[in-house]
Amino acid sequence: MRPVLVLVEGAERDGGASAAGGADGAVRASAFRLLTLARRLGDPVAVVCHPVAAYGVDALARFGAARICVAEPADPDGKDTAAQSAVALEALTELAWQMDASAVLVPSGRLGREVAARLAVRLGGGIVTGAVDVRPGPDGPVAVQEVCGGTYRVESAVRGGTPVIAVDTGAGEAEPDPVDPVVERMFVSVAESSRRVRRLARRPKADRRPGVAGASVVVAGGRGVGSAEGFTLIEKVADALGGAVGGTHTAADRGWCPQDALIGQTGAVVHPRLYLACGISGSVHHRAGMHHAATIVAIDTDPDAPIFRIADVGVVGDLHDVLPALLAAIARQRAAERGGPTP
C-alpha cells in the first residue's frame, strides 16, 4: 500500500488549552483521528514539525503511526508558529514526492489549512477542506463534507497524484491500533516566501473566562438576548457551567460580547460537549461554527427557528425567564447532591 502522510500538530511552547498534555513535546489529539482515517487509505506516516518527546512518539504509535518523520529547519532560526507551518510545508512536499504518497491529511485549523493550500499548489492535485470523513474510493480517496451549516452531506472524489485533505478532526472518533514505530529525522530548508514573515511580538491576552476555542461547554447568545446587559445573564450561566461565552455575528457586532467570542463561519468553529444556544435563530453563518457540538440545547421564543432543526434539546420560551429558572434549578440540584438544604 502507498504511504499516507499525516501532519501532526504540536502543543504550543507555552501550552495551549487544546494541547494533549499541555507540555512541550506533546502532540495534539487531532493527529489520532487523522491516523485513524489514514489507516483506511494506506500506510500512515506521521510528520512532526516540532520537538517531540518520547511520550508524544508513544501516543502516535498507539494510533498506528508505523513511521514517524520528525522535521527540523536546516537553519535553526525559526521556532515560532509561522515557522512551524513553513517547516511542515517543506517536509510534506518533499515526503509526498519522495514516497509517492497517496494522500496528505492535515487538521482543519488555521495552520493545517495554510499548509494544505500551499502544498496543494505544489502537488497540483485536488484539495478538500472540512472533511468529516474520508474513505478509499475507486480512483483515490473520497471525502465527506457537511455544507451549508450541516444541511447537506457532500461526497467528493479527490483526484490528483497526491490529494490534500484537511479534516475536521472533532467530527469523528480516533481508534487505537498500536504499532512499533520507526522514527526518522529530516532537515528542510524553508522557502524564501515563508522566511520573510517575521514575528515582531507575542503577548498574552488578559481574560479570566475560558475562550471558546477548545472549551468543553459553550453558552452562546444571539439577537434574542437584546442588549449588552442581557449578556450578563449568558455570562452567569457560562460561569455556573464552567463554560465559555460565545455570541452570534449580531451579538459581536453590537458589542454585546467580545469579538473573539464570535462563533460562526467568520469566527471560531467549536466542538464542545455541550452548546447552549440562547436567542439564536441559527443562521448558516452561525451554524457553520457550532453544528459539530456533541449536544446542542436551544432556547428560543420562535418554535420555527432553524436552530431547532439541529438541536438535541429545544426549549421554546423567553431566555430571560428560562435562564434564571435554569440557574435556580441547577443550584437546587447541586445542593441536593451535596445533601444540604435546598434553597
Partner 1 sequence: MKLVVLVKHVPDEIVDRPSSAAVFAADMTVDRAQLTGRLSEADEYAVEQAMRIARRRLDVQITAVTMGPPEAIRTLTRALALGADEGVHIVDEALHGSDAQATSRVLAAALARCGFDLVICGVASTDSGMSVVPAMVAERLGVPSVCEADGVWADPGWADGDVIVARREDGDHVEDFAVPMPAVVSVTDRVGEPRYPAFQAIVEARQKTVRTWSLANLRIPADEVGLAASASPVRRVAPHAARRPALLVDGEPDAAAARLARHLTEHQLI
Ligand X SMILES: Cc1cc2nc3c(=O)[nH]c(=O)nc-3n(C[C@H](O)[C@H](O)[C@H](O)COP(=O)(O)OP(=O)(O)OC[C@H]3O[C@@H](n4cnc5c(N)ncnc54)[C@H](O)[C@@H]3O)c2cc1C
Tell me the closest approach of the beta carbon of residue 25 to partner 1, in angstroms. Answer: 18
Nearer to ligand X, 46 or 85 (CB): 85
DSSP-assigned letters across all residues of 8-71: EPBPPTT--TTSSSSSTT-B-THHHHHHHHHHHHSEEEEEE-S---HHHHHHHHHTT-SEEEEE
Window 240 to 299, contacts with ligand AMP (CB under 6 A): 248, 250, 279-281, 283, 299
Q: 312 contacts which partner out of partner 1, ligand AMP, ligand X, none, CB within 5 to 8 A by kind?
A: partner 1
146 binding ligand AMP? (CB under 6 A): no
Calpha distance 25→139 (Å, rounded):
37
147 binding ligand X? (CB under 6 A): yes
Window 149 to 168, contacts with ligand X (CB under 6 A): 154, 156
Calpha distance 9→61 (Å, rounded):
15
Residue whose cell numbers read 514573515:
197
Selected binder of partner 1 within 2, 228, 333, 335 (CB under 8 A):
333
* Stretch of residues binding partner 1 (CB under 8 A), selected from 14-22, 23-31, 34-42, 218-226: 14-22
Tell me the closest approach of the beta carbon of residue 3 to ligand X, in angstroms. Answer: 23
Nearer to ligand X, 81 or 156 (CB): 156
Q: Name the 3-class secondary structure at 170.
A: helix
Cβ burial 107-130 (10 Å sphere, 16+ → b, else e): bbbebbbbbbebbbebbebbbbbb
Q: 315 contacts which partner out of partner 1, ligand AMP, ligand X, none, CB within 5 to 8 A by kind?
A: partner 1
Please count the residues of this chain forming the interface with partner 1, following the rule CB under 8 A: 102
Calpha distance 343→169 (Å, rounded):
43
Tell me the closest approach of the beta carbon of residue 147 to ligand X, in angstroms. Answer: 4
Selected binder of ligand X within 46, 83, 92, 127 (CB under 6 A):
127
**Could you give phi then psi for residue 35, rounded to 5 degrees?**
-65, -40
303 binding partner 1? (CB under 8 A): yes
Calpha distance 250→262 (Å, rounded):
9
Nearer to ligand AMP, 84 or 281 (CB): 281
Selected binder of partner 1 within 142, 218, 238, 290 (CB under 8 A):
142
Nearer to ligand X, 151 or 227 (CB): 151
**Quick one: how far is CA 239 from the chain centroid?**
23
260 binding partner 1? (CB under 8 A): yes
Tell me the closest approach of the beta carbon of residue 222 to ligand AMP, in angstroms. Answer: 4
Calpha distance 269→263 (Å, rounded):
6
**295-300 vs 217-221, strand pairing mode:** unpaired
The contact set with ligand AMP (CB under 6 A) reads 222-224, 248, 250, 279-281, 283, 299-302, 305, 318-320
